[in-house]
């Protein structure tokens, strides 16, 4: 049927035509021929290893659960919000939340200038740049438990840091300095992440922009602050949110660096939760603390979810 014939056709015929077009294979595939069974294996597994434990974790936080009732947790006494109240009033929960938040934010803030400086310094080609870029990434890729083990040795009272600077006997792994030790080590292993995201941001600066600022005669500092930095705002904001999330959830580094129970200046929330559960065997109380850590993580997570691109471009109406 040609277009002219179509135009002349009466409404009844048009309906037939559109019905035929509905039967067009490309269209039909959209509707009913979606292989959503492919979601099955991954979906089921995620349900089993994440969703079910998550729900169970909430339930356990309402139970009076210790080493005796753990075996038979289904019949453990239900105590409502008692664990939450005890966590806030009788334990160091609020202190641990404060340590977690302040350490995460401070460590993240210190990684930003390092990462940005590294990215800007390796943006222009020079001899040995490839080696330098690889070197910058190594601290990030070294396993956290290795970083912790090494710095535990470096920061020992008679360790190499103190002997190099003539500070023998200074305590880094105990007492008030431990807080700064944790931040220092965290910064050392985390700054390359900011570096990576800044590099990605720098790549979005067009050549014309460089030409324009050269024509305007902008000095390097003016060019950096007025021309380049605006391009980095987005990637940096994202790097800050993700890095903060990682630091809030970091269990390995404080655990390996200080052992358990951790000295109180570095008793972060993951450590307190772990110790309450698997050392003091107050499992219900520990489950309640874990819920607090979920709430804590939710704040940067919601920011992240707003920033991240979720749609695949095939269904624009669905964005956000």
Partner 1 sequence: MSFTTRRNSARPTAPVEVTRLLPTWILAIVLIVLGLLAAVPLVYIVLASLNSDLGVARGEFWPSDFTFDNYIDVWSSVGLASGIANSLIVAGSVAVLSSAIALGTAYALVRFPFRGRLTALRSLVGFQSIPGTLLLLPIFVLFASIGSVIGVQIIGTLWGLIITYLTFALPFSTWIMVTYLRGLPISLEEAARIDGASHFGVLWRIVLPLSWPGLIVSTFFAFLLGWNDVMFASVMTTPDTRTVAVALQIFGAAQEGGGIPLYGQMMASSLICAVPVVLLFLIFQRYLVSGLTSGSVK
Of 11 and 35, nearer to partner 1 (C-beta) is 35
C-beta of 33: minimal distance to partner 1 in Å? 8
Peptide bond into 261 cis (omega under 30): yes
Q: Are 277 and 267 in contact (CB under 8 A)?
A: no
Of 16 and 94, nearer to partner 1 (C-beta) is 94
Contacts with partner 1, 78-107, as mask; x by CB under 8 A: ------------------------------
C-beta of 197: minimal distance to partner 1 in Å? 6
Of 12 and 164, nearer to partner 1 (C-beta) is 164
C-beta of 161: minimal distance to partner 1 in Å? 8
Of 6 and 302, nearer to partner 1 (C-beta) is 302
Q: Is 233 in the site for partner 1 (CB under 8 A)?
A: no
C-beta of 261: minimal distance to partner 1 in Å? 14
Of 16 and 81, nearer to partner 1 (C-beta) is 81
Count of residues that bind partner 1 according to CB under 8 A: 118
Q: Are 219 and 152 in contact (CB under 8 A)?
A: no
Restricting to residues 15-74, which ones interact with partner 1 according to CB under 8 A? 25-26, 29, 33-36, 38-39, 41-43, 45-46, 49-50, 52-54, 56-57, 60, 70-71, 73
Q: Is 200 in the site for partner 1 (CB under 8 A)?
A: yes
Of 8 and 309, nearer to partner 1 (C-beta) is 309
Restricting to residues 278-297, which ones interact with partner 1 according to CB under 8 A? 278, 283, 286-287, 289-291, 293-294, 297
Q: Is 134 in the site for partner 1 (CB under 8 A)?
A: yes
C-beta of 3: minimal distance to partner 1 in Å? 24
Q: Is 232 in the site for partner 1 (CB under 8 A)?
A: no
C-beta of 13: minimal distance to partner 1 in Å? 28
Residues 6+ apart with CB under 8 A from 263: 173, 174, 175, 178
Restricting to residues 139-198, which ones interact with partner 1 according to CB under 8 A? 139, 141-146, 149-154, 156, 158-164, 168, 188, 192, 196-197
């Amino acid at each position: 049927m040609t277009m002219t014939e179509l135009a002349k056709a009466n409404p009844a015929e048009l309906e037939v035509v559109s019905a035929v077009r509905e039967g067009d294979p490309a269209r039909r595939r959209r509707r009913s021929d979606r292989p959503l069974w492919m979601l099955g294996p991954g979906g089921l597994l995620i349900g089993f290893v994440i969703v079910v434990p998550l729900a169970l974790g909430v339930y356990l936080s309402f139970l009076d659960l210790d080493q005796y009732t753990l075996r038979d947790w289904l019949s453990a006494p239900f105590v409502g919000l008692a664990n939450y109240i005890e966590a806030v009033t009788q334990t160091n929960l609020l202190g641990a939340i404060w340590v977690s938040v302040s350490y995460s934010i401070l460590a993240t803030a210190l990684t930003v200038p390092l990462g940005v400086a590294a990215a800007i310094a390796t943006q222009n080609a020079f001899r040995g740049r490839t080696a330098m870029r690889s070197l910058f990434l190594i601290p990030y890729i070294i396993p956290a438990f290795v970083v912790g083990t090494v710095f535990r040795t470096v920061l020992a009272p008679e360790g190499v840091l103190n002997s190099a600077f003539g500070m023998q006997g200074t305590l880094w792994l105990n007492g008030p300095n431990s807080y700064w030790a944790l931040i220092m080590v965290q910064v050392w292993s985390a700054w390359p992440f900011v570096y990576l995201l800044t590099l990605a941001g720098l790549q979005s600066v067009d050549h014309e922009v460089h030409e324009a600022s050269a024509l305007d005669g902008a000095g390097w500092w003016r060019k950096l602050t007025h021309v380049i930095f605006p391009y980095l705002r987005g990637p940096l904001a994202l790097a800050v949110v993700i890095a903060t999330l990682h630091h809030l959830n970091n269990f390995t580094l404080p655990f390996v660096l200080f052992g358990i129970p951790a000295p109180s200046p570095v008793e972060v929330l993951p450590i307190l939760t772990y110790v309450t559960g698997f050392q003091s065997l107050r499992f219900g109380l520990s489950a309640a603390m874990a819920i607090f850590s979920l709430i804590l993580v939710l704040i940067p997570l919601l920011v992240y979810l707003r920033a991240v691109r979720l749609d695949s471009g095939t269904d624009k109406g669905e964005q956000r």
